[in-house]
Structure 1
Amino acid sequence: MKKWFLFLAASFCLQFSFAQAPTPSERKKLFPTLQLLQVDSTTLTSGLLKRQPTVIMYFSPSCDHCQHQMDDMLAHTKEMKNIQVVLATYQPFDEMVEFHKKYHIEKHSNYKLGRDVNFILPPFYDIRNLPFIALYSKEGKLLLSHEGNIKVEKLLQALK
């Protein structure tokens, strides 16, 4: 009887060990469930995005490295015209609005900017440094993830 109980207990424990949630590195391979509050107070969700290559950039509007990354991406507007760029921040709404004005986001139809009000992305990607960049294929497959600045050429190369 004791052996039978130990067998059942071991089986029960094994069952739960295989039912664990995906680790951050496994989750990163999936396209995240987005819920971003945009400047016009509408919500951008994953379902509203086009099926095309997508860059997700998690940033802070006051971060110098993030601003340099944005400058680099905007300097390559022609090369990135077929890439959807989702800019997500956790900072206050008014800082995001200032960033929107500074970079004239409305002039770039492939750019979407929003506030991660539910703080979904940092734990999803296990983000430690900004800017954080994730590049997905049009099929939603993760091609590259990077913390810190990255050259646009490297993003474009990953899409080939």
Structure 2
Amino acid sequence: MKNFLTIFLLMVLFTSCTKQDKTENVTTRVINELPHLKFTSLDGTIKSTRDLPTPLILVLFNADCDHCQRQAQEVGKHLNEVSNITLQFIAADDLPTIQKFATEYGLNNQPNLNFGRADATDVYMNFGSIPTPAIYLYSADKRLLKNFKGETPVAELVAPFR
């Protein structure tokens, strides 16, 4: 009986270690290229992040988050510095709340700034557990250049694109 218990525990330990390695590989693969995250734009159109123009700054935010609000203010103050980069803001809030957020921070009428809504589960499946704002910079070939967790000055956001 003692030998059986020892063998059983060793099998459980081996199995749990093997599963962790597979999870880490999936996370690394997904994070290095622009994921296929479906979202609904403010006009109700269903889009995918893979179809967005690049270079791209993808901002995952929450309209009630004070850090996200300060990030929107920062972007609004430096619109000329991001004029040649697509910025896509995506939240899990409802569309009217996202529209209000875009309007409140003066980001709603910018040709290169877009807002949309994605399901929180889809965001989690593509990016894992993230703080807001979470900012991802993608090159013209849809490769991850850099990511930021939390408020980030616009100068740091545009530096990798220079």
On whether the aligned pair clears a TM of 0.5, the verdict is yes
Runs of 5+ unmatched residues, structure 2: 1-14
For residue 78 of structure 2, the aligned residue among 70, 76, 79 is 76
Q: Is the 8 A contact 1:32 1:121 kept in 2?
A: no
| 2:49 alignment partner in structure 1 | 46
| 2:109 alignment partner in structure 1 | 107
TM-score under structure 1 length normalisation: 0.79
What SS class does the counterpart of residue 78 from structure 1 fall into?
helix
Q: How many Å separate the matches in 2 of 1:127 and 1:112?
A: 23
Q: Is the 8 A contact 1:90 1:119 kept in 2?
A: no
Q: How many Å separate the matches in 2 of 1:75 and 1:135?
A: 19
| 1:36 alignment partner in structure 2 | 39
How many residue pairs end up in the alignment? 143
Question: Which is richer in helix?
Answer: 2
| Structure 2 CA distance for partners of 1:146 and 1:96, relative to 1, 3 Å | same
For residue 25 of structure 1, the aligned residue among 13, 24, 28 is 28
2:72 is equivalent to residue 62 of structure 1 = no
Aligned AA (1:67): Q
TM-score under structure 2 length normalisation: 0.78
Structure 1, 25-34 or 114-123: larger mean CA deviation: 114-123
Q: How many Å separate the matches in 2 of 1:117 and 1:124?
A: 11
Q: How many Å separate the matches in 1 of 2:135 and 2:45?
A: 23
Aligned AA (1:79): E
Structure 1, 95-104 or 143-152: larger mean CA deviation: 95-104
- Aligned-pair CA distance for 1:46: 3.0
Aligned AA (1:106): N
What SS class does the counterpart of residue 33 from structure 1 fall into?
coil
Q: Percent identity?
A: 22
User: After the TM superposition, which parts of structure 1 deviate over 6 Å for at least 4 consecutive aligned residues?
Assistant: none
Runs of 5+ unmatched residues, structure 1: 1-12
